[in-house]
Structure 1
Amino acid sequence: MYYADYHVHTSFSSDCSEKMENQIKTAIKLGLKEIALTDHVDYDYPDTNFPFMINYDEYMKEFNKLKEKYKNKINIILGVEIGFQPHIVNQIENFLIKYPFDFVICSMHVCDKLDLYNGDFFKGKEQKNAYLRYFECVLNNVNNFLNYDVYGHIDYINRYGNYNNKILSYEDYKDIIDAILNAIIKSDKGIEINTSGYRYGLGHTNPQLPILKRYKELGGKIITIGSDSHRSQDVCAYFDKAYSILKEAGFSEITVFKNRKPSFIKI
C-alpha cells in the first residue's frame, strides 16, 4: 500500500479532462492516506489553446465540497503546479498568497518564453545545447524564486525535442545539475520523483536514479512521489518502481505537506 500521490491533475487543468472526484475516488480505492491535487497555473503560456489558468473561486467550491465529503476516507491536499517563468514572478507571488495552499510544485514548461511541449524551444538547437540551456534556466529559477516546496520533474527535458534518442545522462550535465540540487537544498526546498517518464516511454522516473543518488549525497531530504496523473487510471502508476528507486538512492522516507510545512513518512 502506498501512502500518497503528490502530483495529480483534474479537469481544471487545461490538458486534463478527468473530474476531480474521479481522481479522489481512485486514490481511495488504492488505499491512499493522502492525495495532492496540483492543477496547472501557467501565466503567459505561449499556446493560447492551453491557457492553464483556473477560476479558483469555482475550484475552491469543488475542492472544499469534496474534501468535506471524503474527509473520513482520505486527506485531500490543496496543491498547485506553478509553471515558472522569470518575468511573471510577481503574478505568481500575488496568486500564491490568495489561497491556502498546502503544497506548491515549481515546474518549468516554458524556457526563454519558448514552449517545450510544441517544440519551439528546440528549433535550431543541437540536443546537448538544448538540454544545457534548459538546465541553465532551471538554475536561474531556483536561485531567484523561493516560494515553492518541491521542484517538479527536474530532468524531464528529454521527454520533448525531435531528436534521435531520448537519452539524458547525468554525467554530461553533472556540474550544472549539482548546482541546481545544491541551490534547492540550501533553500530548504525539495524535489519530486515523478513516475510519468514511464508513461512517456522514457523508461525511467524524472529525475533519473543517478540524479536522485546525487541529491541524497549532497544532503537532500525533502522528496515527494507523484504520478503526474491526468487520468484516474494513472494515479500511483509505477509507484512500485519509484519506491524501489528511492530505496536504491538511499532514501528511507518520503515527504508530505500541510500548510507548506514538510513532514516525513517512513517507506
Structure 2
Amino acid sequence: MFDCHVHSSFSGDSDMSCEEAINTAINMGLKGISFTDHLDYDYPDYDDVFLIDFDKYSSAMDNLKSHYNSRIKVLKGIEVGIQPHVIDSTLDVINSYDFDLVIASVHVVDKLDLHNGDFCKSKTQREAYTRYLEEVLQTVNSFENFDVLGHLDLIRRYGCYDNKTLAYNDYSDLLDSILKQIIKMGKGIEVNTSGFRYNLGSPMPDFSIIKRYKELGGEIICTSSDAHKVEHIGYKFDYLKEMLEKSGFTYTAHFEQRKPVFTKLN
C-alpha cells in the first residue's frame, strides 16, 4: 500500500524529516510514500514558518526519489489550501514544478480558520457543516488543477460540537453534488486516517460517504495518513484495506506524474 498524504519538516507544522518518514514506511512494508507539504496562501494569522522554498523542496524530493529507488517509491506531492481568491497564485506554484500528486483541501472558509475554531464560533453544527460543504463544492466547481480532494469532511476535526459525525444521510444533497463533480472531472478522493487520532472514531470521510462515492461510480481512492509524526505513517491501513473491500473497491490508487496508478487490494 501507499501512504499518499504525508507532511515533513518542510511544512511548518511538522518536525519529521523526510528520511525518518521514508525509513518508517520501509519498515512497515509500504510500497510508496507521497510527501504533500503545505501551500496555503492567505491563511489567517499566517506565519512565515509555513512558507516553503519550493525550489529546495523539489530538488530534495528528486534526490530522495533517486536515493531510495531500490527500496521504496518516493513521490513528490503538494497539498494546496484553496480559497477563491488564491487560485491564481496557487496555480503558479503547481505549474512551476513536476509534482506527482496535488491534493486540494479546504482549510479556511470565509477567511475564517477551521483549525483554531474561529469558523465554528456562533454557528450551530448544521450551519457550520453546511457552509463548509458549500465551500468544498465551490472549490471542486472552480478549481480543476488537482488530483485528489483531501479529507472531504475536515470540519469534523475542528468543530466545537459534542457530536463529531458528519453522516451522509444528513447532508446527502451537498455530498452527492461534491462526489458527482469529482467523478465527472476524473479526480479522486482520499480516505484519511487522521480522524482516528482526532478521536472521531472513523477515517475522513467516514465509510458512509466512501460507500456512496463507490455507488456513484467513483474509482480513484487513495489511502492516506496525513502524518506529521513517524508514529502516524500508515496508521490503521490494515483496517482501511478491509473496509475498502467491504465498500466494493478492488483497487487503491496513488499518483505518479499526475496520473493515477492502481494497485489491487488483494
SS at match of 1:202: coil
Contact 2:61 2:75 in 1 (8 A): no
Equivalent residue for 2:111? 113
Q: Answer yes or no: is 1:255 the counterpart of 2:249.
A: no
Structure 1 CA distance for aligned equivalents of residues 101 and 159 of structure 2: 30
| Match runs of 1:54-133 below 5 Å | 54-133=52-131
CA RMSD of aligned residues (A): 1.1
Unaligned runs of 5+ in 1: none
Equivalent residue for 2:147? 149
SS at match of 1:262: strand
| Match runs of 1:179-218 below 5 Å | 179-218=177-216
Unaligned runs of 5+ in 2: none
Q: Answer yes or no: is 1:159 the counterpart of 2:157.
A: yes
Structure 1 CA distance for aligned equivalents of residues 177 and 244 of structure 2: 21
Contact 1:7 1:226 in 2 (8 A): yes
Contact 1:15 1:50 in 2 (8 A): no
TM-score by length of 2: 0.97
Structure 1 CA distance for aligned equivalents of residues 48 and 176 of structure 2: 33
CA displacement, residues 125-151 of structure 1 (integer Å, 9 cap, x when unaligned): 111110000000000000111100010
Identity level (%) = 50
Structure 2 CA distance for aligned equivalents of residues 229 and 96 of structure 1: 22
The one-letter code of the counterpart of 2:64 is: L
For these two proteins, the number of residue pairs brought into alignment is 265
Contact 1:42 1:51 in 2 (8 A): no
The one-letter code of the counterpart of 2:120 is: F
CA displacement, residues 207-228 of structure 1 (integer Å, 9 cap, x when unaligned): 1111001000000001100000
Contact 1:43 1:52 in 2 (8 A): no
The one-letter code of the counterpart of 1:194 is: N
4+ residue runs over 6 A deviation? none
Structure 2 CA distance for aligned equivalents of residues 164 and 33 of structure 1: 38
Structure 1 CA distance for aligned equivalents of residues 247 and 108 of structure 2: 29
The one-letter code of the counterpart of 1:174 is: S
The one-letter code of the counterpart of 1:200 is: Y
Equivalent residue for 2:237? 239
Q: Return closer, same or farther for 1:68/1:246 CA change in 2, 3 Å cut-off.
A: same
Contact 1:142 1:180 in 2 (8 A): yes
SS at match of 2:173: helix
Structure 1 CA distance for aligned equivalents of residues 49 and 123 of structure 2: 26
